[in-house]
């Protein structure tokens, strides 16, 4: 096995999880679909079961049962851990399953979570609903320290935040957390643009259903961090289920070599589209950290390598019927939730992804009823602009632009 840290990120994305291929005589990751594994040596099997059930690695190749361990899923986990600069990673059947396991594992430290809005709607709902019996304090990135309690087990942030693209300063939050682990959902950034552990975070998670999968055909989640923290998360996973299916893991691994190319290409197109939309009188306001004045903390360059390829905007009309007609007029852009796919997707968060969020919380974090989230894909800029430009003709050009109340300073 070669040095795990060799090469640039782009090179490591190609080779992560593949360095034993020559030795094994293969050129693609082997797929192991076994749900159970023979256990002829009962002593070994018992020891390995003990290890796996508490979140440790198997002993001497005794995998026992797929919920406990799968070599194809493990291969993806090791690759992702390498790309995040983490000691280990745990992959799940969805991003929400990963988040749930992180929260359940945190309960051994306390019952209180501090979280900074906005975050993905269902993640917000999971915390707010009390489904897991956790107490949550919502705060801003500048007031994390005052929200802490003796029983605070975890600080949860998402950057860029879904769907307003608000950037959170990871090191600033970590400095306030006073040793309480900080989880960063970096789904929108991917490890190509942001590696939160390098900024002091304890855990990074992704809905791998998005950019990491990249083709809209795998539902998955992954969380990376230290051996000890990932061990606790794997302990929860072994007990509750939720291991990522090996076929999904194979597809995620297949996509890793092209992750930097996909992220950079979509971002280049998004930067052009954001400039066009920002200048267009049919758009009232646009949220995209790559636009002038939209990164007040100077995080792009310092924390994040680029603004990414997701943006949100409001049409210059408060009439939701106009929004519906705009969406219906699009021919290339697909009206659908999710993001980070090869094709460009658009959806109104207040109506769909964030409808499970308390309306007052939505309003105070800039998620207006007319906000549209656009995830830019790999199509050509000219074709995307032609589609948006034509569909925007349904918008009457009367309203003012750049309403300051849309992006409260506290969320930026």
Ligand X SMILES: Cc1ncc(COP(=O)(O)O)c(C=O)c1O
Comparing every residue's Cβ against ligand X, the nearest one is 95
Active site residue 185: yes
CB of 207 to ligand X, least distance (A): 3
Residue 181 interacting with ligand X (CB under 6 A)? no
The number of angstroms, rounded, from the C-alpha of 307 to the middle of its chain's C-alpha atoms is: 14
Give whichever of 123 and 299 is closer to ligand X, judged by the CB atom: 123
Choices 70-78, 88-96, 239-247, 266-274; region in contact with ligand X by CB under 6 A: 88-96
* Cβ nearer to ligand X, comparing 106 with 219: 219
Joined together, the tokens standing for residue 94 give 């969805």
Q: Is 362 a catalytic residue?
A: no
Residues in the interface with ligand X (CB under 6 A) total 13
Binding ligand X (rule: CB under 6 A), the pick from 72, 187, 190, 375 is 187
For position 100 contacting ligand X by CB under 6 A, the verdict is no
Verify whether residue 67 is a known catalytic residue: yes
- In angstroms, the CA 177 to CA 42 distance is 46
Residue of the chain from 185, 271, 295, 314 that contacts ligand X (CB under 6 A): 185
Q: Assess contact for 398 and 282: CB atoms under 8 A.
A: no
95 touches ligand X by CB under 6 A: yes
Task: List the one residue from 115, 123, 274, 371 that touches ligand X (CB under 6 A).
Answer: 123
Active-site position among 120, 195, 231, 295: 120
Six-digit token string for 274:
């954001």
For ligand X, the closer of residues 202 and 341 by Cβ is: 341
Closest CB to ligand X among residues 192, 395: 192
What are the CA-CA distances from residue 300 to residues 169, 240, 296, 344 (Å)? 10, 38, 10, 23
Q: 49: which residues sit within 8 A by CB, 6+ positions away?
A: 64, 68
Instruction: Tell whether the torsion through CA atoms of 163, 334, 293 and 394 is positive or negative.
Output: negative
Name which position in 78, 207, 309, 344 contacts ligand X (CB under 6 A).
207
* Candidate segments 93-101, 106-114, 372-380, 394-402, binder of ligand X by CB under 6 A: 93-101
- Strands 334-335 and 283-287: what pairing? unpaired
User: Shortest approach of ligand X to residue 104 CB, angstroms?
Assistant: 15
Taking CB under 6 A as the rule, does residue 213 contact ligand X?
A: no
Closest to ligand X by CB, 140 or 353: 353
What is the number of alpha carbons within 13 Å of residue 265 lying toward its C-beta?
Answer: 17
Residue from 59, 88, 124, 158 in contact with ligand X (CB under 6 A) = 158
With binding defined as CB under 6 A, does residue 120 bind ligand X? yes
Angle at alpha carbon of residue 129, lines to 123 and 133, rounded to 5° = 100
In sequence order, the β-bridge partners of residue 262 are none
Asked about 234 being catalytic, the answer comes back as no
Closer residue to ligand X in complex, CB, 77/185:
185
Q: C-alpha angle 362/327/323, rounded to 5°? A: 50
90 is a site residue for ligand X (CB under 6 A): no
Do residues 253 and 79 make contact, with C-beta atoms less than 8 angstroms apart?
A: yes
Nearer to ligand X, 58 or 255 (CB): 255
Active-site residue set: 67, 120, 185, 210
User: Which parts of this chain interact with ligand X (CB under 6 A)?
Assistant: 94-96, 120, 123, 158, 162, 185, 187, 207, 209, 219, 221
């Amino acid at each position: 096995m070669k040095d795990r840290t060799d090469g640039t990120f782009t090179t490591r994305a190609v080779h992560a999880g593949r360095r034993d291929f020559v030795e094994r005589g293969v050129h693609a990751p082997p797929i192991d679909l076994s749900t159970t594994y023979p256990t002829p040596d009962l002593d070994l099997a018992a020891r390995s079961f003990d290890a796996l059930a508490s979140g440790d690695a198997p002993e001497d190749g005794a995998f026992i049962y797929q919920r406990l361990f799968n070599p194809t899923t493990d291969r993806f986990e090791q690759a992702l851990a390498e790309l995040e600069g983490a000691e280990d990673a745990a992959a799940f059947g969805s991003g929400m399953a990963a988040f749930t396991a992180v929260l359940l594992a945190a309960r051994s430290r306390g019952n209180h979570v501090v979280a900074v809005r906005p975050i993905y709607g269902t993640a917000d709902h999971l915390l707010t609903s009390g489904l897991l019996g956790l107490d949550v304090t919502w705060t801003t990135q500048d007031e994390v320290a005052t929200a802490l309690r003796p029983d605070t087990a975890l600080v949860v942030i998402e950057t860029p935040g879904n769907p307003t693209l608000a950037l959170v300063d990871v090191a600033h939050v970590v400095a306030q957390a006073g040793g309480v682990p900080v989880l960063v959902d970096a789904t929108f950034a991917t490890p190509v643009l942001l590696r939160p552990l390098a900024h002091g975070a304890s855990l990074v998670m992704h809905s791998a259903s998005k950019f990491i999968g990249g083709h809209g055909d795998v539902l998955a989640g992954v969380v990376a961090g230290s051996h000890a923290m990932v061990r606790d998360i794997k302990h929860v996973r072994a007990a509750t289920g939720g291991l990522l299916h090996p076929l999904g893991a194979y597809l995620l691994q297949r996509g890793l070599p092209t992750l930097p190319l996909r992220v950079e290409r979509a971002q280049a197109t998004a930067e052009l589209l954001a400039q066009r939309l920002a200048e267009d009188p049919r758009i009232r306001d646009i949220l995209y950290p790559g636009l002038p004045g939209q990164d007040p903390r100077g995080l792009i360059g310092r924390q994040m390598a680029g603004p990414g390829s997701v943006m949100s905007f409001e049409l210059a009309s408060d009439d939701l019927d106009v929004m519906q007609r705009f969406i219906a007029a699009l021919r290339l852009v697909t009206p659908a939730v999710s993001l980070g796919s090869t094709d460009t997707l658009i959806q109104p968060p207040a109506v769909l992804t964030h409808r499970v969020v308390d309306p007052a919380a939505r309003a105070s974090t800039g998620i207006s009823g007319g906000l549209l989230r656009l995830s830019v894909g790999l199509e050509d800029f000219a074709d995307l602009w032609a589609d948006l430009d034509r569909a925007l003709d349904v918008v009457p050009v009367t309203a003012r632009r750049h309403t300051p109340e849309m992006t409260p300073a506290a969320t930026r």
